[in-house]
Structure 1
Amino acid sequence: MTASKDSIDSSENDINLEEFETKHRDGTWLTRFVFALSIFLAVAHIYINTIGTLPELRISAFHFAGFGALCALLIPANPKWRDSKIALFFDILIVLALIGMVLYIVFFEDALYARGVTFDTSDWIVSSIAVLLSLELIRRTSGWFIPFLILVALTYVVLWGKWIGGPFSFPGLSLETLLYRSFFSTDGMFGSISRISWSFVFMFILFGAFLVKSGAGDFIIALARSLASKMIGGPGFVAVLGSGLMGSVSGSSVANTVSTGVITIPLMRKAGFPARFAAGIEAAASTGGQLMPPIMGAGAFIMASYTQVSYVTIIGVATIPAILYFLSVGFFVRVEAKRQNVTSVEEDGPPISQVLKEGWHNILPLAVLVTLLVQGFTPTYAAGLGILAVIVSSWLSKSHKMGPVAILDAMAQGAKNMSTTAVLLIGIGLVVNVISTTGVGNTFSIMISDWAGGSLFLTLVLVAIASLVLGMGLPVTASYIVLGTLSAPAIFNLIAESQLLEMMSSGNLPQAATAVFMLVDPGAIAQLAQGMPMEQAAALLAQVPADFKGMLMDQALGANNVAMILVTAHMIIFWLSQDSNVTPPVCLTAFAAAAIAKTPPMRTGMMAWKLAKGLYIVPLLMAYTPLIGGDTETLIRLTLFAIFGLYALVAAMEGYLEDKLSIPARILALAASVLMLWPYFDIWLQIVGLVIFLVIFIIGNRSYAKSNALTAS
């Protein structure tokens, strides 16, 4: 198996391990050492996440040192120096420096506090080298942009922040304070992002590596082919289903594209889909892999940390939006299949009974994982038992029984897959520390609100543009962390205030919440009970002091609803952060698919961008409807109308449904889509939109059937 086909990585900068695997078979001392180090890191992290009770700072330092050493030995400082002995010498120096950094924290951290947190020479040297090592390792794995961003952030705190005027002016901190917060405290490199990395992210990446080693990846592709083979445009749906199922345990859109695309793109081309469309579908579907629970490219874990909402709740509310996204991509497949007259390709899909008979045991680990999560066990505990379930279930397989060698290989693969993600998340912790220390996040949120004039829609547009720009240099997870820190408060406030204003204008404000307005305008209390015009409600709300708005929202909206609004804000940002995968000029997922399909990369990127329109439509539904956190009846209604609304939108965009649509029919399809998707229309207008779309569909189906009959005769 090659690394490009079988590796699962939550980073967008996957390590190409093909050369490593070749050297491993040759048995060189370096590859043997890397293999042993990978296994050691896997075992150590399993111990840390199950029965270990070490201080978090020391765990984070060990996490950085271990995976930093892997990166140093696996990824050369320059590809041209891969075989250079001098380069290897410097790589070994980096490894020794990382080991020394961990030992320094273990043995000399207490001495720093005994001196009253006053640096001596060794503190200066070790903390400075640690930050520089972080920059170098990230440069190797992700290029120059992220180290440059970190340097800009760090120098802003100590140097040029006091030179600029306006809201972003910052008086500055001493370099000693900055290095202390960056290295010794739990706010910088070894803060909450690092904790998420060595716990949740690592355990689930290791779980994914075990799944792949046990043959689950082959089972997923076979299952997708069997389910989609008899559908119109079957190979296209294989890409959608396969990428969605693979993404549910992977989380890397690039790795997803490479692992499934080598199978699905040739299948689509063989069936009659244009090459650029086939590559675009694979890129769009693989991008959705980071939206599909349970892993979501590490986003679910970070979101749970930011919002203080349980991981199980996060993946629960993320499921319906993810399904809507994959359906939107599937609608493009069906429409194009109708246009190109692509029918089912039954010989390409094994019978589902055969697939389940041979691979049903691959479902057991996922069932164990989900059951444990639902029962309230921690994600790390569930992932640990899930790994054991993978091993046990593999013994039911005829061809993928996992013995000691396979288990060690899976451990090593999981650790290597984690290495780039670990150093990236730890480095991004430096940026997050600067944002929280300086208050730039609150300032940025206020500025977004001012630029958008209080408009939620314009705010989302600005965040989407910012995510696209950041995504040109940052992987998706890092882009979400930075944007979530900067702009989530703005989106949260706008959504919460819009709901609060509706309650004030309708007279449904709870009695406890009206007491807050006694501080602003006691005479408005009686009018609030009856309801007031929206403009007057907005003016009254604007007078509430900022310190009391949080209490007002909790009392008016309820703590659970407020938590769901916060999750909604972060989920929107997480979704918008994905657009850099499929949006030119930098769209790594589309470029990876183009390489397989042998199509022009930029034109493939434009195709993928068109096919991934769900990335923008579904976040709008999140913002304006209770798609996240709504009651069961509301969710069913929203989901059903959203499905047909997305289908109508695809038909309007493509000018094709069951047959070619005339200009009036396209306009009607667009109108039907707006009626079903626009949140401010009541259910009767949504029903009207649904009827219009069904009429267009039925007429087009009859037209398609007649044209086929004429062709056959």
Structure 2
Amino acid sequence: MRQLEGWGWWLATLWMAVFAAIHLYFAGFGFPEPITMRGFHLLVFVPPLFLLYPARTSSPQTRPSLPDWVWAAFAAAPHLWVIWNAQAVSDRMEYVDPFGWEMMALGIICVITLLEATRRAVEPGLAWMVAISLLYMQFGHLLPGVLNTRVFTPAEIVESAWLVPTAGGVYGPLTGIVATTIAVFILFGAFMQGSGTGRLFSNFGAMVAGRYSGGPAKVAVVTSGLFGTMSGSSVSNVITTGAMTIPLMQRVGYKPAVAGGIESAASVGGALMPPVMGAAAFVMAEITNIPYSQIISAAAIGAVMYYFAILAAVHFEAKRAGMRPMPLSEMPGWREVFADAHLIIPIGVLVYLMNERWSGNYAAFMSTLSMVAVSLLRARTRMGWRQVLESLASAGHTMAPLAVSIAGSGIVVSALTSTGMVVAFGGIIKDLAGGSLPWLLVLLCLTVLVLGMGIPTTPSYIIAAAIGVPQILELGSRTLGYSTEQLLLPAHLFVFYFAVIADATPPVAAAAFAAAAIAKASPTITSLHASRFGIAGFTVGFAFIYDPAIMARGSLAEILLASATQVGALVAVTAGYAGFLLKRMAMPERLLLVAGGLVGAFGYFLGDVERGAVAVLLPAGIALWQSMRREYSGAV
């Protein structure tokens, strides 16, 4: 991103702030018609990307070049036309009414500028995926076997990519949810940061976890989890909190790659943690037509398990290495925490309104206003005009890249459905699975992790859900005996979890690479450590399908059994890897613990009670045996 100076900085800041404020106004007082709103959102956030992000490293870094202004002007043209002709666009019959030459020209301009904006501001991998999807529509009829498609005319390709508001493409429903609900939640997160809520989370994390062994690592876990619920980006979470926590972890004895792995695993998990999960969760609500409040309720236990596993792994690592707590001189004190405690009120407002079934738009709107009002209660948190302006501009800078990434993923989904590739690719996975649900889930897990190598979480989730969820519903309903309605949310949460943790898993892991840069460690080794600290993402992901009690479905006894099974399994795996439970362990104990933990986590061929017994009794038995013998002093 360019470091604009002078009038350029002011222009970009005011542009982003003004139009972010308009989005906030719409959330409270009503949105325009869908086509108008989508056009407005893309008009105000796509063209600035050419001014904010250079085309190449050799391009000017402090000001836009003349070609950048030309790109921005061309990027605005298609969306201006849509806004001007919003009623006609809404009324036209897709693929039936004529698609004239001017629409063809504007559609091509829209797609080309979107590809370039995505390449600059998001990920080149996503731009390539969009381009390949369109090329597949053009040339797929030349391919053999399951890859063969019908012949598409150029007009059909451009129309499906650009102007099919009811299905996919740039102006599809995905852009609609980003322009409305997701935009206002981004605003809420930006105002939380502007008010000093991040400082509250950091101080609270230090007071809760800093006094224990390996304190800085536990502070990183707690702080990143709290911060991640509002940041919406694992990479920005790593950069924001990791700049403080990674050096602290290294100072008390953690190796650089381990410190980076802890931070990246914790930062990635923020998108899993209610009440404000990542943008993909709002897209899930739109795709499934399941209320967002129901999604976050179902995800709550799993999110807690994810962070419990990281804390457990950090604890065992710290105890084995004999690490000390944070120095008292670096602890903020409860007085410092309580000085910002009033900033928790807007989060309470958000949770209350969501539970009362208010729309997500209105809940986030009221919570944002309450954040400004509550900040005025103390001088240290008071948001003046400058803080409000910076928060609005920060929200705009977050919305703009997300706008093009979601529009691009809409094109991919449109191409996959139009060509029948969703069915074909799903059929390939289904054939490879051979009618086995476990193998199907493993293949889908790998598919999502591969997608996550080159594209952000939300597009990865959208594309993988289009391919994989129908297969889970078909095979799962036959194998498990659940209805497709019962499996719908578990299937989407399964895909969602792996889309999220893809940011921390090798070989390409954006969050882990950012943490490695701070820690000055190997990116690959850092991502390997992030994967093991985030092991609960894998265990919980499969539990959504096989153990619905983990989503708080079922009796209290079933929910407690599912939770205890996960806790026991995660303790066993993390302790076995670290080589420490109550004391240091020899290799046979470690292998036994890891094997028992994996059986408890994935041994669904056993009954729930038997699996729970393995997960809970094995680490309990080894802990009891350790308490009765002297500490193992050999190499671990």
Q: TM-score, normalised by structure 2?
A: 0.93
The 1-side partners of 2:88 and 2:286 are apart by 31
After TM superposition, give the deviation of residue 210 of structure 1 in Å: 0.4
After TM superposition, give the deviation of residue 222 of structure 1 in Å: 0.6
Q: TM-score, normalised by structure 1?
A: 0.83
The residue that corresponds to 1:155 in the other structure is 135
After TM superposition, give the deviation of residue 692 of structure 1 in Å: 2.9
The 2-side partners of 1:347 and 1:289 are apart by 28
The residue that corresponds to 1:639 in the other structure is 563
The residue that corresponds to 1:523 in the other structure is none
The 1-side partners of 2:470 and 2:190 are apart by 36
* 1:45 aligned residue (9, 23, 46): 23
Give deviations 1:70-92, integer Å, cap 9, x for gaps: 2111111123112598x622222
The 2-side partners of 1:353 and 1:489 are apart by 50
1:109-148 alignment to 2 at 5 Å?
A: 117-148=97-128
The 2-side partners of 1:127 and 1:173 are apart by 16
After TM superposition, give the deviation of residue 349 of structure 1 in Å: 5.6
Checking the alignment, whether the CA contact within 8 Å between 2:448 and 2:460 is kept in structure 1 is yes
Secondary structure of 2:243's counterpart equals: helix
1:387-402 alignment to 2 at 5 Å?
A: 387-402=368-383
RMSD over equivalenced CA pairs, Å: 2.3
The residue that corresponds to 1:691 in the other structure is 617
* 2:411 aligned residue (430, 433, 436): 430
2:424 matches 1:418: no
Secondary structure of 2:354's counterpart equals: helix
After TM superposition, give the deviation of residue 706 of structure 1 in Å: 9.9
After TM superposition, give the deviation of residue 110 of structure 1 in Å: 5.8
68 and 348 in structure 1: CA distance in 2 versus 1, 3 angstrom threshold: farther
Unaligned runs of 5+ residues in structure 1 are: 1-15, 501-552, 708-713
Checking the alignment, whether the CA contact within 8 Å between 2:564 and 2:616 is kept in structure 1 is no
2:465 matches 1:484: yes
After TM superposition, give the deviation of residue 430 of structure 1 in Å: 0.7
1:544-693 alignment to 2 at 5 Å?
A: 557=483, 562-626=484-548, 627-628=550-551, 630-631=553-554, 632-674=556-598, 676-677=600-601, 678-679=603-604, 680-683=606-609, 686-687=612-613, 689-693=615-619
Counterpart residue type for residue 699 of structure 1: W
The 1-side partners of 2:172 and 2:236 are apart by 28
The residue that corresponds to 1:465 in the other structure is 446
The residue that corresponds to 1:252 in the other structure is 233
Secondary structure of 1:155's counterpart equals: helix
The residue that corresponds to 1:35 in the other structure is 13
The 1-side partners of 2:506 and 2:130 are apart by 24
474 and 114 in structure 1: CA distance in 2 versus 1, 3 angstrom threshold: closer
* 1:96 aligned residue (55, 58, 73): 73
* 1:169 aligned residue (148, 170, 175): 148
The 2-side partners of 1:634 and 1:272 are apart by 41
349 and 248 in structure 1: CA distance in 2 versus 1, 3 angstrom threshold: farther
Moved more, 632-641 or 696-705: 696-705
Checking the alignment, whether the CA contact within 8 Å between 2:214 and 2:314 is kept in structure 1 is yes
Give deviations 1:643-685, integer Å, cap 9, x for gaps: 1111011222333222221233224323542453333234256
Give deviations 1:393-414, integer Å, cap 9, x for gaps: 1012231201222212211111
Checking the alignment, whether the CA contact within 8 Å between 1:61 and 1:102 is kept in structure 2 is yes
121 and 266 in structure 1: CA distance in 2 versus 1, 3 angstrom threshold: same
After TM superposition, give the deviation of residue 160 of structure 1 in Å: 1.2
312 and 348 in structure 1: CA distance in 2 versus 1, 3 angstrom threshold: farther
The residue that corresponds to 1:282 in the other structure is 263
After TM superposition, give the deviation of residue 470 of structure 1 in Å: 1.6
Moved more, 97-106 or 399-408: 97-106
Q: Larger radius of gyration, structure 1 or 2? A: 1
The 1-side partners of 2:412 and 2:599 are apart by 43
* 2:52 aligned residue (71, 74, 88): 74
Give deviations 1:328-371, integer Å, cap 9, x for gaps: 11111011111110132251564663144201111101000000
120 and 259 in structure 1: CA distance in 2 versus 1, 3 angstrom threshold: same
Checking the alignment, whether the CA contact within 8 Å between 2:78 and 2:106 is kept in structure 1 is yes
The residue that corresponds to 1:180 in the other structure is 159
2:204 matches 1:223: yes
After TM superposition, give the deviation of residue 641 of structure 1 in Å: 1.9
After TM superposition, give the deviation of residue 119 of structure 1 in Å: 3.1
Checking the alignment, whether the CA contact within 8 Å between 1:235 and 1:264 is kept in structure 2 is yes
After TM superposition, give the deviation of residue 313 of structure 1 in Å: 0.5
After TM superposition, give the deviation of residue 689 of structure 1 in Å: 4.6
277 and 445 in structure 1: CA distance in 2 versus 1, 3 angstrom threshold: same
Secondary structure of 1:249's counterpart equals: helix
After TM superposition, give the deviation of residue 566 of structure 1 in Å: 0.9
Checking the alignment, whether the CA contact within 8 Å between 1:391 and 1:402 is kept in structure 2 is yes
Checking the alignment, whether the CA contact within 8 Å between 1:476 and 1:577 is kept in structure 2 is yes
Checking the alignment, whether the CA contact within 8 Å between 1:445 and 1:488 is kept in structure 2 is no
The 1-side partners of 2:395 and 2:87 are apart by 34
195 and 689 in structure 1: CA distance in 2 versus 1, 3 angstrom threshold: closer
Identical positions, percent: 30
Counterpart residue type for residue 65 of structure 1: L
299 and 704 in structure 1: CA distance in 2 versus 1, 3 angstrom threshold: farther
Counterpart residue type for residue 620 of structure 2: L
613 and 114 in structure 1: CA distance in 2 versus 1, 3 angstrom threshold: closer
The residue that corresponds to 2:83 in the other structure is 106
